[in-house]
A and B are shown apart, each in its own frame.
Chain A
Amino acid sequence: MFSAMQIILILLWVIGWGFWGATIGSLVAGGCTMNALVVGMIVGDVPTALIIGGTYELMNIGLNPLGGSSVPNYNIGSVVGTAFGAKVGLEMGMSIGIVVATLGTSLDVFTKALGSIFLNKAKASFAKYEFKKGYNWIHFGLVPRTLINSPVPIALLLIAGQGLVETINEAIPAWLLNGFKNAGNVLPCLGFAILLRSLNIKGNMQYLLIGFFCYAYLGVNALGTAIIGLALALIAFYQQNRLAAIDAKLGGDDDD
C-alpha cells in the first residue's frame, strides 16, 4: 500500500522529529498538525492530513503529560491516521489513529521504565570516577525514547499496510466503524474536561459562560472569542495587581 520510499521518509521524519522533540522540545500545541502535515506531503494528500491533524489537535488540547504521567499519544496517532487516511479514506484513517494513539500510552510507560537501566549505569560509572562515561550513559537514554516510542509501532503498522486494512475491513462491521466515528466526535470533550479539572474553575465559571455565549448565540469562532478572553484576562490582571498594591500599602501602614 505504501511504497518503500514513503515508509522510509515517514520513519526518517518520525525519528528526526522525535529526537528534536526530546532535546530542543516538540510543539506542545501544534504537534499533531505538524506530524499530519509532513506525512500528508509524503503520501500526497495534504487536505486529508489537515483534517485529521486538526481533529486530533482538538482532542489533544487537555491531554498534558504533567508530572511524568502518560496520556494518549495523538502524535503517533496523527502519523498513522494520516498515512492510512490518505489511502483508504478519512474515517477509516481517523479510527485507526485513535486506537493507535490510545495503545501508544503503554509504550510510553515502557520506555520511561527503561530509563532506570541508564540511570543505574550512570550511577555505577560515577562511583568509579568515570564521569564522561556516566554522562554518555545518560545521553544514551535518549535512544529508547526516540527509537522505540514511535518509530517501531509506526514502521510495523505501515509495513502491515494493505493486510491490516483488509483485515479491518473484513473483521470490523459497519456499526463498529460508525461507533468509532461517533467516538471521534465525542472525544474532544475529554480534553476539555481534563482541562477544566486542571484550571481553577471555582470562582471562574463566568468566563466559561461568556465563551459559550459567544459561540452558541453570537456565532463568534475561537479566534474572536480569544480577543474577548484576552480583554477579560487583562482586566483581571490589572485588578489583581492593584489589589496587591493596596494590600502592600495597608501592610506598610501597619508597620509605621
Chain B
Amino acid sequence: MTKLSTKDIHGVQIRSWIYQWQSFSYEAMQSTGFTQAIGPALEKIYDGDKELIAEKLDKYLAFYNTENNMSQIIMGACLAIEETGSENATDTSLAIRTGLMGPFAGLGDSLFKISCKVIVGSLVGYMALQGSLVGLFIDILVEMVGFNIIKYNFFKLGYSQGTSFITKNQDRIKALMNAAVVLGLTVVGCMIPSTVKIATKLVYTNGDAVQAIQTDILDKIFPYLLPVCVTALVYWGLGLKKMTTVRMVWLIIAAAILLTVAGIL
C-alpha cells in the first residue's frame, strides 16, 4: 500500500473534471469516465498487485450515471475510501456510488440543469432576440466560471468530508431546491405568454359585421388564452403512454402545418 501524493490526488481531480463523455455508452453510461479518473490512483495505492487492480477496475465499470457537478462529490468520497486501503474498500465505495447517483442526479439536475436553463437560458434567448449579448455574457460567467468553481470545491468536499456533508445538510438542500423551483416557475409563468406566439386568423362573419376572432373576441376574454391552452394541451400530451419528446416535436410541426393549411393559424 502506497499513500497518494498531492499530485496524484490532483491527477484524479483533473481526470474526473472531464469524465462525463469519455466513452459514454448505454450499458455503462459514465462509469467509463469514472474508471479512467480513479484508475491511476488505484494503481498507485495497490502498487503492483495487477490482479487486484484489474478486478477493481472491472468492478468500477459497472453502470454509473449522475449529474456531472454532483459527481465530483461522489468521486472525491470514493477516492478517500479507496485510499484507506481496507479489504472491502471497493465494495464500500461502489455501494456509496450506486446509492448516491440517483438522489444526486435529481438534486444536480434540478439545480444545475433545469433551473439554470429556465433562469439563465431564458435571459440569454430573450436578450439575443433584442440584439443584445449581455445574457450570453452572464451565462458564460455562471457556467464557465461559477460552475467550475463549484466543481473544484465539490471534489475537495467529497474527498475531505465524504458524503456526510450532504446528509447533515439535507434540510437546507431541500429548501434550496424548493426555492429554485419557485424562481423557475415564476419565470416560466412569464415566458409562456411572452415567447409562445399563437394567434388565429379566423374571422367571424355575421351578416355585414366581420369580427376577427383573435383581436375582437379572444383577446377581450383573456389575454394570451391560446398560448396558455396549447401549453396545457402539450403538458397533458406528454403524460400519455409512448409519448416521447421527439414524437411531440413532429406532432407539433404536423399540427401547425395542418392548421396553417386550414387557414386557422
Interface residues of chain A, those whose CB is within 8 Å of chain B, are 22-25, 27-30, 32-34, 36-37, 47, 50-51, 53-58, 60-64, 66-72, 98, 102, 105, 112-116, 118-119, 122-123, 126-127, 129, 131, 134-135, 137-142, 145, 175-176, 178-180, 182-183, 185-190, 192-201, 204, 207-217, 220-223, 225-226, 228-230, 232-234, 236-237, 240-241, 244, 248
Contact = CB atoms under 8 A, between A and B. Distances in A.
A100 to B, nearest CB: 12
A116 B24 CA distance: 8
Given A126-B54, A204-B182, A241-B172, 20 more contacts: A23-B20, A25-B143, A30-B140, A30-B143, A54-B125, A54-B126, A54-B128, A66-B109, A72-B249, A119-B32, A129-B54, A138-B32, A193-B237, A194-B238, A194-B245, A196-B231, A197-B235, A216-B193, A225-B187, A233-B182
B117 A192 contact: no
Interface in B222-261: 223-224, 227-228, 230-231, 234-235, 237-239, 245-246, 248-250, 252-253, 255-261
A112 B182 contact: no
Interface of B: 17-18, 20-29, 32-33, 35-36, 39-40, 43, 50-51, 53-54, 57-58, 61, 65, 68, 105, 109-110, 112-114, 116-129, 131, 133, 135-136, 139-140, 142-144, 147-148, 171-172, 174-176, 178-198, 223-224, 227-228, 230-231, 234-235, 237-239, 245-246, 248-250, 252-253, 255-261, 265
A230 B23 CA distance: 39
Contacts of A229: 119, 182-187
A228 B186 CA distance: 8
A143 to B, nearest CB: 10
A72 B244 CA distance: 11
Contacts of B185: 196, 199, 201, 204, 207-208, 211, 229
B125 A233 contact: no
A222 B24 contact: no
Question: For chain A, what secondary structure do more than half of its interface residues adopt (helix, strand, loop), or is it mixed?
Answer: helix
B22 A141 contact: yes
B217 to A, nearest CB: 17
Given A176-B257, A195-B118, A212-B192, A116 B25 contact: yes
Contacts of A221: 126, 190, 194
A43 to B, nearest CB: 17
Contacts of A145: 21, 24
Contact of B121 (A28, A131, A223): A28
Nearest to B139: A30
B114 A198 contact: yes
B24 A68 contact: yes
B246 A212 contact: no
A128 to B, nearest CB: 8
A208 B188 contact: yes
B228 A186 contact: no
A232 B118 contact: no
Nearest to A228: B186
Contacts of B126: 54, 58, 221-223
A171 to B, nearest CB: 15
Contacts of A241: 171-172, 175
A98 B253 contact: yes
B228 A180 contact: no
Contacts of A127: 54, 58
Contacts of B120: 29-30
Contacts of B182: 204, 207, 229, 232-233, 236
A185 B197 contact: yes
A188 B192 CA distance: 8
B189 A214 contact: yes
B245 A63 contact: yes
B188 A196 contact: yes
A222 B63 CA distance: 40
Contacts of A223: 123, 126
24 contacts: A22-B20, A27-B144, A28-B112, A28-B143, A29-B117, A30-B140, A33-B136, A58-B191, A135-B40, A138-B32, A145-B21, A180-B256, A182-B259, A189-B252, A190-B248, A197-B239, A210-B186, A210-B189, A214-B189, A225-B190, A230-B183, A233-B182, A234-B179, A240-B171
